[in-house]
Amino acid sequence: MKEAGVKAWLPSLLRLALVVLLIAFVTNPGWFEPLLKPLTESNAPAIYNQGSLLTLTLLHLRTVLIATVAATIVAVALAILVTRPAGVEFLPLSRSLVNIGQTFPPVAVLALAVPAVGFGEKPTLIALFLYGLLPIFENALTGLTTLPANVVEAARGAGMTGWQRLVKVELPLSAPIILGGIRLSVVISLATATIGSTVAARTLGEVIIAGLLSNNLAFVLQGGLIVAALAVLIYDGLSTIERYTARRMGQETA
Amino acid sequence: MTTRFDKLGVVIAAIVAYAAFAAPFATLRANRIVPGEARSILEALPPTLGPLLLAVVVVAAVVALLKTPLILRLAASVVALAALALLIGVAGGFLTPEGNSFARISPASGFWLLIFAFTLLLADGLTRLNLSPSARIAVLVVTAAAIGMLLVSGSWNSLSILKEYANRADSFWAEGSKHVTLALGSLAAAVIAGLPLGILCHRVEKLRAGVLNVLNIIQTIPSIALFGLLIAPLGWVATHVPGAASLGVRGIGTAPAFVALFLYSLLPVVANTVVGLAGVPRAANDAARGMGMTERQRLFSVEFPLAFPVILTGIRIVLVQNIGLATIAALIGGGGFGVFVFQGVGQTAMDLVLLGAVPTVALAFAAAIILDAVIEMTSTRRREAQPA
């Protein structure tokens, strides 16, 4: 019995430890200097010194958050539009557009957005938005088109209007799948945002690129690890929410 | 009356109206990095051709706007795209001042929007045609051939992106082959390592969660960091393992890029192999066992062929992703089309960025279409062989 208890708690403990470690690292990176020092050469600094890691982490998260919220609103609205009778003409085309869109490499989107909006955060937001759009749209489409037919019929039979069916039946039922798309999109965005620093956006990519340019492995490692830790934690958190909504919707957890 | 309009056509006509009459068609710059001056269709083309192009796009937009037969819509989009492709080259020659080799002409927002609008019309038409996989590949080949002919004929040579190309023709092909080698080579390595690993994960349940979790975590490491982190271990291998350096293992350059792409590719290959094998119907396995097949025979002649379309889907994801990610290799000296993208960003020379970005997008796009077609062919063959 005791062993089972430990096994059940282990993931939560690991998560907690990772959160504590992450917060400690971005607020007090000095504590970890001895660990990173062996990775540097000829007395280079072991902790990124051209800006605070905490500020960069928050800016990184802010960029990802803005892009994801915008992408979610647009993607879900589009998915709703093409699954209504009025927009059903656009359904096949929107599917092929999503397929085409996924072939654009993020670096290209980023670089091509620069002439239109200038250097800095804006091109990064555009690239993250476009990239985040696709998984959410695809999942929302799957969710809205694979609803159990009897449930939709029942809602219609109960005299619900189109709007009521959408808000009270279709969206809640497809919420877990849509959340899955958002989760995928956030994890991709967290990693892609680092590339934004090649066009002077202030994200954790700045730390990695500074490391690449000055041949300082400690910088590359700390930037990469913070982003990876954020991604793992957020992925995990969103999966939990997803399972919770799926349970509430009476669906089996995948 | 309103029902006579095609809904997508309304969107296309609106984009065309804005792009043809309000947005600039081409940009003229005194040299490659200064801001440019906008030129409309009528200003950018000789007096006869300008109105002709306007007429073509307006007629095509009207065809899109009204509910017209599918074949007419396809024809309109192809004619409009061909006219745009030909005339942007003419605009390049027309706008370049006599004997001026510094001036740069590049397509502007209006041109790109028109291309986008008619590609939308073409894509919609092709989607509705519901082409067979081999027909889709044929369309791709014809399009590629048409673009190739335009490039070879030199009618685009006065455009800025091709002037960038002319300055770098040798390195363009060298970087291009590096890009393809990186993307395909790491894919091949991932398939060679990932298939057995996936089969192992399918057979040994204890391994499955662990392996997939590790591969999932690798995916969360940002690409530029993973590329960077591999510099140290590979540098160590190159100096300490005899013979490694002569095989091309280096701390910077192609080796870390190759290993990073390989690591990113493993997850889709392994995960899809596991999913594909898990989806093999129990009845098929039982029948094979009943026929007295050995484990090995069962794997190769029953499970594997049945799981193949799913595994192929994983390979498609990897290939498209690798072609995109290989651009980042340029940051650590690994070469590839990313070299031009990052050089262009550094010099704020957008045509140089395009010289790297356009071939990358084209390669990824072609790879996606070809593999999608192959997946469809294998899965329909499977369905025919196995009526449910």
Q: How many helices (H) and strands (E) does chain A have?
A: 11, 0
* pLDDT of B197: 93
The percentage of chain A sitting over the pLDDT mark of 90, rounded to a whole number, equals 15
* pLDDT of B387: 46
Question: What is the mean pLDDT of the segment spanning A67-89?
Answer: 90
* pLDDT of A254: 42
Question: Are the C-beta atoms of residues B211 and B197 closer than 8 Å to each other?
Answer: yes
Domain with CATH 1.10.3720.10 in chain B: 169-385
Contact map slice: A 87-106 vs B, CB within 8 A:
87, 89-90, 92-93, 95-97, 99-100, 102-106
DSSP label at B301?
Answer: I
> Please, which pLDDT band fits residue A37 given cuts at 50, 70 and 90?
confident
Per-range mean pLDDT, top range of B98-102, B176-180, B210-214, B334-338: B176-180
pLDDT in tens, B181-197: 999 999 999 999 999 99
Q: Is residue A52 helix, strand or coil?
A: coil
DSSP label at B106?
Answer: E
Report the distance separating Cα B346 and Cα B10, nearest Å.
40
pLDDT in tens, B67-92: 888 899 999 999 999 999 988 888 88
Least confident of A3-7, B191-195, B358-362, B372-376: A3-7
In one letter, which amino acid is B167? N
Q: Across the interface, do A212 and B221 touch by the CB < 8 Å criterion?
A: no
Q: Across the interface, do A112 and B232 touch by the CB < 8 Å criterion?
A: no
Q: What is the DSSP string of A79-119?
A: HHHHHSGGGGGGHHHHHHHHHHHTTS-HHHHHHHHHHHH-S
* pLDDT of B142: 93
Helix (H) or strand (E) holding B180: helix B169-203
Tell me which chain A residues have a C-beta less than 8 angstroms from the C-beta of B223: 191, 194-195
* pLDDT of A99: 74
Residue B381 has pLDDT above 80, yes or no: no
Residue A181 has pLDDT above 70, yes or no: yes
Q: Is residue A217 helix, strand or coil?
A: helix
> Please, which pLDDT band fits residue B244 given cuts at 50, 70 and 90?
low
Least confident of A28-32, B129-133, B229-233, B368-372: B229-233
> Please, which pLDDT band fits residue A4 given cuts at 50, 70 and 90?
low
* pLDDT of A68: 95
Report the distance separating Cα B101 and Cα A62, nearest Å.
45
Tell me which chain B residues have a C-beta less than 8 angstroms from the C-beta of A185: none
Question: What is the mean pLDDT of the segment spanning B132-144?
Answer: 91
Q: Is the dihedral of CA B254, B256, B258, B260 positive or negative?
A: negative
Q: Is the dihedral of CA B76, B81, B86, B92 positive or negative?
A: positive
Sheet holding B104-107: strands in order across? B37-39, B26-29, B104-107
Report the distance separating Cα B226 and Cα A235, nearest Å.
19
Q: Identify which of B332, B324, B314, B297 has the alpha carbon closest to the alpha carbon of residue B374.
A: B314
Interface probe, candidates B136, B212, B224, chain A, greatest A C-beta count within 10 A: B224
The percentage of chain A sitting over the pLDDT mark of 70, rounded to a whole number, equals 95
Residue B149 has pLDDT above 50, yes or no: yes
* pLDDT of B74: 92
Name the burial class of residue B323, with classes exposed (0-12), middle (13-18) and buried (19+) by CB atoms within 10 angstroms of its CB. buried
Interface probe, candidates B345, B351, B365, B369, chain A, greatest A C-beta count within 10 A: B345
Domains of chain A: 53-248 (1.10.3720.10)
Residue A77 has pLDDT above 90, yes or no: yes
Report the distance separating Cα B267 and Cα A51, nearest Å.
34
CB burial of A217-246 (b: ≥16 within 10 Å; e: otherwise) equals bbbbbbbbbbbbbbbbebbeebeeebeebb
DSSP label at B5?
Answer: B
* pLDDT of B246: 65
Report residue B88 as tokens: 């942007």
> Please, which pLDDT band fits residue A253 given cuts at 50, 70 and 90?
very low
> In terms of CATH architecture, what is B169-385?
Orthogonal Bundle (1.10)
> Please, which pLDDT band fits residue B128 given cuts at 50, 70 and 90?
confident
Place of tokens 């710059």: B29
* pLDDT of A158: 87
Following CA atoms A105, A106, A112, A118 in sequence, which dihedral angle do they give, to the nearest 10 degrees? -170
Name the burial class of residue B62, with classes exposed (0-12), middle (13-18) and buried (19+) by CB atoms within 10 angstroms of its CB. middle
Mean pLDDT of chain B: 85
Q: Is the dihedral of CA B267, A97, A192, A69 positive or negative?
A: negative
Question: What is the mean pLDDT of the segment spanning A132-156?
Answer: 87
Does A39 lie at the interface with B, CB-CB under 8 angstroms?
A: yes
Tell me which chain A residues have a C-beta less than 8 angstroms from the C-beta of B324: 103-108
pLDDT in tens, A197-227: 888 888 998 998 888 888 788 888 888 889 9
Alpha-carbon separation of residue B191 from A6, B132, B185 (angstroms): 38, 27, 10
- Comparison of pLDDT for B377 and A41, the residue scoring more: B377
* pLDDT of B388: 41
Length in residues, chain B? 388
Q: Identify which of B376, B116, B354 has the alpha carbon closest to the alpha carbon of residue A93.
A: B116
Task: For residue B27, report the phi and psi dihedrals to the nearest 5 degrees.
Answer: -115, 135
> Please, which pLDDT band fits residue A1 given cuts at 50, 70 and 90?
very low
Angle at the Cα of B222 (from A122 to B354), degrees rounded to 5? 50
Question: What is the mean pLDDT of the segment spanning B158-170?
Answer: 86
Question: Are the C-beta atoms of residues B4 and B83 closer than 8 Å to each other?
Answer: no
Tell me which chain B residues have a C-beta less than 8 angstroms from the C-beta of A221: 225, 229
pLDDT in tens, B49-63: 888 999 999 999 999
Structure pTM? 0.83
Mean pLDDT of chain A: 84
In one letter, which amino acid is A84? R
Q: Identify which of B72, B65, B22 has the alpha carbon closest to the alpha carbon of residue B42.
A: B22
Does A114 lie at the interface with B, CB-CB under 8 angstroms?
A: yes
Residue B252 has pLDDT above 70, yes or no: no
Question: Which residues are CB-contacts of B252 (< 8 A; sequence separation ≥ 6)?
Answer: B231, B235, B332, B333, B334
Angle at the Cα of B191 (from B186 to B195), degrees rounded to 5? 150
Tell me which chain A residues have a C-beta less than 8 angstroms from the C-beta of B124: 92-93
* pLDDT of B281: 86
